[in-house]
Each structure stands twice: as structure tokens, then as C-alpha cells.
């Protein structure tokens, strides 16, 4: 004991620590954020108060034949639950097809025996945060309205993406279906028609009802103008080289996929940066373990929710997660190449974003950048040789610092986007709008009498009038595309695609072929198809071939609203953190793409070396748009949500600048082309 040395606590430090926290709190309070003037919605919830066209209602009870909400009161309770976060009240919400709670999913084989699926983190936007902007101080502009030309463009893109889901990214330039998609989207009125005239035309239309007018103005909003300019690609327009790509700097350079989604760095004790063979393994060094960039192979050409029965069951909250199909090994001594692949097709990318840990792609990218020795930002401390600095970054300005920030920013950005999803916009998902398109294109013989049909409509034509906004939307989805969707779904529904799972889709309920309650008659009628003439089959195809959006996931979208997108918000936040620490002008020594069958990587020559910042932007876009490829998000969910995540990350970095002893600066390229410098240098 006599040799022990007692070091007294530095009591003045306690006060300095408090002062730093107080100063940072005041800084956070006085900072300027996009949500300081409040939040603005697109007004659809007000325009259509009973039908709630455009609003997220998944999981509440819907009419079996139209998917319209059965009762507005259930939505009111839903909103109250969101706004209060009252756990006990949330437990009283009607969840499933039956408002009384006696749920039974019987409309499709896919949902046989399914339980109901609860909503996800409804009150997360009410929680506070101790660093960065409060969840309610950042915002997003209004989403496109349900009957707008822009949403027609987004619906068209969603349909085309579903049809192109199994085309290899490397084949986009030659595949006929991708060429058709590029031509169709490139000629869409959203991009080709003077939008001031387009908006005037919309204003001249007869109002959908006597109480709610279309709120379009003659001029596009700044957000609409920006989104439209994004799609015009600085005058390049949409071609097979640009279709379905992101809108950020670098997205149009090199292969479709970011290098950070495919390359590896599987070497301990020093990575041979100049050896291309070191990258093609696709294995990322994770300590002494490995992370494999390959993904499980989803069954090609297998889409979901293409029958009305499956769609309405999922809309009513059927939990069919995990019922999707994957390629199975063919024998006991199978090779991993049978069941796993590099991300090679949009379906592979959709599979990646189905089960990823939200920061996974950026965590992997950081490991890759650290392994290959990518340069840090010039203002980061300890970047000179050890002979000069006499120390290296680790706890701060090194690997643990960056990796922990990636995790830290995720929850903060998710709180912010949950507030936008649930408490502000409550935007519906693409699958739901496609369901209403199906109602317009395949009229129901005796639609169920719901409150919306009698209150927002008029007399016997009430249901048809309720769908007038969807009829307007359909003007902006070309007939050739809709016919392709119908034919695609007909093939999905007519064949025993799910035979291995004993799920014959032709037995699913369809309101066009039968009454809501007569399922046996529906089954018999559908089974008679093979005995019909060609003309009769064509007519039947129009019925069985739905206009629903083919989904990559059996369960469709998550149980939360579409706008903003959680993946895209996290992508924007994590990418911003990485761009703050690394020199975005550093280049990658090689470029790779997948082989013809997706099982290998091949080196390719690019006209210019790929920059770190560009490939990080592309990673952000790939993951965000990967959710679009699955059918669960809109294009604008991506373009607006990444900016939300960026704003959260920048706020966090600004506040953390107060805590460091070392003088530093970070030069952060922004998604809009600007630059922000974060520094504690005087």
C-alpha cells in the first residue's frame, strides 16, 4: 500500500465538462434546421378524408374486394396512437381483416395460417436525443400527390423495375425490356411536358368532390423542380446507361453497383493494394474473421402479391415474412455457388436490402477503406508518418472512432425519419396504389359498400367517383406498360410457381371472378381456364392477370409508411460520416464487375478511375434504390430521405466538434453539390 499513489480528481474538469455540455446544448437549440418552420404534407389526407387515397393504412381492416379502408374511425385511432405513443391505447387498435379481432386470412394460399403483423416503432419520432438535431427539427418536403403526374412517373418506374428485376446489371445496355423501360420513362409527361402547363391542366379538371380541391399550383415547388431536374440528368435524359440509377455525383460513372458492395480485402497483416487478385475474393477482413459479400440467391422470376387474394391479405396485416423462396442446393455435396451469388441482378440487390443490418453496407465500406489504406481527409489529425506525429489515430481519428459513429448516427436518423413517416406524411406504399390501379382497370362487379363510397361519391356511382383520382393517375401510366404488368402477373398466377410450397395461386380469391364470399365458385371458375378457347383465355387473362405491383418480398412493404425511407435516411447519414473522415478525391486502383453468372468478379477498364466519394455516393443510392427494386418504396422516398439523413449526420458532427482536444477539420461534400467544413480550429 505504501507504494500506491493517489491521484486526486480534477474537480475543475467536472465544471468544464458541464460547460461543454451546456454550450453544446445551446448550440443545438440555436442551430438552424429544416424543420424549424414546421412540416408540410401534400394534403392528400385532407383532400380524401374518407377514402384516404394516398395515406398509409396497411394493417387496418380493409374491404376484401376494393382494399379501401372499412372505417375512418380506425384511422383516427391509428393517428391518435401515433401522436401519443400510448402503449396501452396502441394495443386496442384494430389490426387485421376483421375489426372485431376475429382475424382469419383466407383469401390466399400464401397467407394460410398466418398471424397478424404489428406496426413498427410507431412512437419512435416522439423520443428525444442527446446529440444532434431533435427528431422533430428536421423535415422533408411534401411527397407527390396521389393524382399528380410525378406520382404517375413514380408508379411507372415501380412497375418497370418489377419487370426488369431479373436482368443482370451488366446487361442493362442490351436487354430489350430495359430499353423499353428507358424509352417509356424518358418520354413520360413528367419529363417531356412543360409542367406549368401540366399543372394548369390539372386545375381545370372537375373537382373530385365538392369539399376538397386539388391543391396544385401553376408552378412547381422547389422540391418538385429539383426532383424533375434529377431525372433529366443535366440534359442527358433517361437512357439504358442512366435508367434506374441514382441522382448523386458518381452514380453515372462506372458499373451500376458500387465497388463497396462486391469487392473484398481478405488479408491479415497488410493489404496488397496494387494487386487486383486481392479484391476479387469478395471477402472482407473483419478482424481474423471474414464477411462474405455474396448474398443468398432468391428464386429467379418469383414475385409475390400478384393475386388479389395475396395482396388483400397482406394489406390487412397478414404476417407472411419468411415465406419467400430461395434457390435450394441440388445435392449433399453442393457448392456455395449454387445458393449464393455476388449482387448481380436487381433481385439480388433487393434480397440484400431485405435482411441487412441497416448500417451494414457502410460498416463494410469502412472496413474496406481502412484495409486498402484509403487517405483520410486532409484535416484529420495523425495522418502524417509516425516519425512526425509520434502517435496514430485509434480511439479518436481511427477505426473505432469511425465505426462507432456509423452505429451512433443510425438511431438518430431513424428517429427523425420515423417522425416523418408516422406523424407527418403517412404516405402510402407503391403496392397499395397498384391495388387501386387494379380496381380501375378491372372494375368490380359489386364493390363493397364502405363509408368512402357513399360519402365522397354520389349515389350508385359512389365507388367509381372515389377512384377518380386513380383514374387521373392512370393517365400517366402508359397502356403498354400496364399490359406488360398484366401479362407478367398472369404468368405468375397461372403457373404453379409456388408448387414446391403447395401454394397454387390460381385458387386465390379474386373479386372480378366471384363474389366476396363465394370462394369455391371462384376456384372452380379459375380452374376451367385450361378448357377455354383462345379468345376466352384472352378475356380471362384480363381478369386473372392483375395490375398489382409484383413484389420481391412475400410480405410486401414494412408496417410503416413510405415517406421517408428508413434505408435511404440511414444511407444518407452513414455516407455523410464516411465522407467526413475519408478523402473523397482519393481513387480506387481497380474497377470490378460481376461475371456473366454472378459467381465471380472480373476486372474492367473504366475511362477514369473511380473516386472514393463517388463510390460512397453510389453505395448510398444502390442501397436506397434497392428498396425500390423490391417494390416497397418510391423514387422520391430515396431522393428526399438521403438529405434528411445527411442533415442529421452533419448536426451530430458539428456538436461533437466541441469535445476534442486535437485541432481538426472535415471537408464534407454534400448531396446537392455543395461542401460543408466542420472544424474546431479558431
- Dump pLDDT digits (tens) for 543-560: 568 999 999 999 999 999
Active-site position among 188, 488, 560, 633: 560
**Is 69 inside any structural domain?**
no
Q: CA–CA separation, 369 vs 427, rounded Å?
A: 37
For residue 166, give the CATH number of its domain.
Answer: 1.10.606.10
DSSP string of 418-464? HIIIIIII-BPPHHHHHHHHHHHHS--SS----HHHHHTS-GGGHHH
Percentage of the chain exceeding pLDDT 70? 87
Q: CA–CA separation, 199 vs 217, rounded Å?
A: 6
**Is 32 inside any structural domain?**
no
**Is 393 inside any structural domain?**
yes
pLDDT at 516 exceeding the cut of 50: no
More confident: 442 or 463: 442
In this structure, are residues 551 and 304 in contact, taking their beta carbons and an 8 Å threshold? Answer: yes
Task: List the one residue out of 263, 266, 196, 258 whose CA is nearest residue 228.
Answer: 196
**Is 619 inside any structural domain?**
yes
pLDDT at 268: 82
Give the three-class secondary structure for 26. helix
**Is 542 inside any structural domain?**
yes
Band the pLDDT of 219: cuts 50, 70, 90: confident
**Is 560 inside any structural domain?**
yes
Q: CA–CA separation, 676 vs 576, rounded Å?
A: 11
Domain containing 401 equals: 130-682
> pLDDT, tens digit, for every residue of 401-453?
999 999 999 999 999 999 999 999 999 999 999 999 999 999 888 665 455 55
DSSP bridge pairs for 319: 115
Query: How many domains does the chain contain in total?
Result: 1
Q: Which three cell numbers stand for residue 496?
A: 404453379
**Is 85 inside any structural domain?**
no
**Is 35 inside any structural domain?**
no
Looking at every residue in the chain, the average pLDDT score rounds to 89
> pLDDT, tens digit, for every residue of 360-397?
999 999 999 999 999 999 999 998 888 998 999 999 99
Give the three-class secondary structure for 551. strand
Note if 560 is an active site residue.
Answer: yes
pLDDT at 303 exceeding the cut of 60: yes
> pLDDT, tens digit, for every residue of 94-152?
999 876 766 677 788 889 889 999 999 999 999 999 999 999 999 999 999 999 999 99
Report residue 75: phi and psi, to 5°: -70, -40
> pLDDT, tens digit, for every residue of 269-283?
778 888 999 999 999
pLDDT at 531 exceeding the cut of 80: no
Active-site position among 340, 344, 567, 633: 567
Note if 188 is an active site residue.
Answer: no
Q: What is the pTM of this model?
A: 0.92
Amino acid at each position: 500500500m505504501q507504494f500506491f499513489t493517489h491521484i486526486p480528481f480534477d474537480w475543475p474538469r467536472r465544471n468544464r465538462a458541464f460547460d461543454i455540455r451546456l454550450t453544446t446544448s445551446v448550440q443545438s437549440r440555436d442551430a438552424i434546421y429544416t424543420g424549424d418552420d414546421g412540416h408540410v404534407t401534400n394534403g392528400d389526407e385532407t383532400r380524401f378524408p374518407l377514402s384516404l387515397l394516398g395515406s398509409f393504412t396497411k394493417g387496418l381492416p380493409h374491404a376484401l374486394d376494393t382494399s379501401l379502408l372499412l372505417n375512418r374511425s380506425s384511422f383516427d385511432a391509428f393517428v391518435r396512437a401515433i401522436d401519443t405513443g400510448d402503449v396501452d391505447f396502441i394495443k386496442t387498435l384494430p389490426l387485421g381483416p376483421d375489426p372485431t379481432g376475429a382475424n382469419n386470412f383466407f383469401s390466399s394460399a400464401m397467407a394460410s395460417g398466418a398471424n397478424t403483423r404489428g406496426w413498427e416503432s410507431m412512437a419512435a419520432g416522439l423520443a428525444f436525443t442527446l446529440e444532434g438535431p431533435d427528431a422533430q427539427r428536421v423535415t422533408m418536403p411534401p411527397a407527390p400527390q396521389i393524382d399528380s403526374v410525378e406520382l404517375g412517373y413514380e408508379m411507372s418506374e415501380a412497375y418497370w423495375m418489377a419487370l426488369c428485376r431479373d436482368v443482370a446489371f451488366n446487361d442493362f445496355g442490351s436487354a430489350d425490356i430495359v430499353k423499353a423501360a428507358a424509352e417509356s420513362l424518358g418520354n413520360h409527361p413528367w419529363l417531356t411536358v412543360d409542367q406549368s402547363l401540366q399543372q394548369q391542366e390539372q386545375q381545370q379538371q372537375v373537382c373530385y368532390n365538392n369539399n376538397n380541391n386539388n391543391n396544385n399550383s401553376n408552378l412547381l415547388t422547389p422540391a418538385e423542380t429539383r426532383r424533375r431536374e434529377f431525372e433529366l440528368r443535366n440534359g442527358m435524359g433517361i437512357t439504358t446507361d442512366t435508367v434506374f440509377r441514382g441522382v448523386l455525383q458518381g452514380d453515372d460513372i462506372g458499373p451500376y453497383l458500387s465497388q463497396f458492395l462486391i469487392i473484398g480485402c481478405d488479408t491479415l497483416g497488410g493489404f496488397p493494394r496494387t494487386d487486383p487478385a486481392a479484391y476479387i475474393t469478395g471477402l472482407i477482413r473483419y478482424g481474423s474473421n471474414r464477411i462474405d459479400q455474396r448474398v443468398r440467391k432468391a428464386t429467379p422470376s418469383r414475385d409475390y402479391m400478384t393475386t388479389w387474394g395475396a395482396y388483400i391479405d397482406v394489406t390487412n396485416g397478414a404476417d407472411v415474412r419468411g415465406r419467400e423462396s430461395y434457390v435450394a442446393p441440388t445435392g449433399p455435396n453442393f457448392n456455395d455457388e449454387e445458393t449464393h451469388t455476388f449482387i448481380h441482378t436487381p433481385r439480388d440487390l433487393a434480397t440484400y436490402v431485405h435482411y441487412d443490418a441497416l448500417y451494414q453496407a457502410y460498416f463494410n465500406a469502412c472496413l474496406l477503406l481502412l484495409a486498402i489504406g484509403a487517405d483520410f481527409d486532409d484535416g484529420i489529425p495523425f495522418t502524417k508518418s509516425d516519425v512526425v506525429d509520434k502517435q496514430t489515430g485509434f480511439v479518436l481519428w481511427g477505426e473505432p472512432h469511425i465505426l462507432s459513429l456509423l452505429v451512433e448516427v443510425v438511431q438518430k436518423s431513424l428517429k427523425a425519419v420515423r417522425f416523418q413517416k408516422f406523424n407527418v406524411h403517412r404516405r402510402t406504399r407503391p403496392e397499395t396504389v397498384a391495388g387501386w390501379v387494379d380496381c380501375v382497370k378491372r372494375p368490380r362487379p359489386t364493390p363493397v359498400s364502405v363509408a368512402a363510397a357513399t360519402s365522397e361519391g354520389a349515389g350508385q356511382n359512389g365507388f367509381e367517383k372515389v377512384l377518380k383520382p386513380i383514374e387521373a393517375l392512370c393517365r400517366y401510366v402508359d397502356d403498354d406498360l400496364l399490359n406488360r404488368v398484366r401479362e407478367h402477373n398472369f404468368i405468375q398466377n397461372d403457373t404453379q410457381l409456388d408448387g414446391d410450397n403447395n401454394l397454387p395461386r390460381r385458387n386465390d380469391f379474386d373479386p372480378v371472378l366471384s363474389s366476396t364470399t363465394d370462394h369455391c365458385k371462384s376456384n372452380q371458375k379459375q380452374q376451367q381456364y385450361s378448357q377455354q378457347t383462345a379468345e376466352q383465355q384472352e378475356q380471362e387473362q384480363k381478369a386473372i392477370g392483375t395490375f398489382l405491383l409484383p413484389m420481391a418480398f412475400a410480405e410486401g412493404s414494412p408496417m410503416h409508411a413510405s415517406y421517408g425511407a428508413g434505408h435511404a435516411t440511414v444511407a444518407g447519414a452513414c455516407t455523410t460520416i464516411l465522407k467526413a473522415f475519408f478523402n473523397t478525391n482519393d481513387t480506387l486502383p481497380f474497377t470490378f464487375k460481376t461475371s456473366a453468372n454472378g459467381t465471380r468478379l472480373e476486372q474492367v477498364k473504366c475511362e477514369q478511375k473511380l473516386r472514393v466519394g463517388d463510390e460512397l455516393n453510389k453505395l448510398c443510392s444502390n442501397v436506397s434504390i434497392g428498396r425500390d427494386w423490391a417494390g416497397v418504396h418510391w423514387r422520391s422516398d430515396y431522393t428526399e430521405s438521403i438529405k434528411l439523413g445527411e442533415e442529421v449526420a452533419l448536426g451530430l458532427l458539428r456538436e461533437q466538434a466541441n469535445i476534442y482536444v486535437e485541432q481538426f477539420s472535415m471537408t464534407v461534400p454534400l448531396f446537392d453539390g455543395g461542401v460543408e467544413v466542420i472544424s474546431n480550429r479558431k
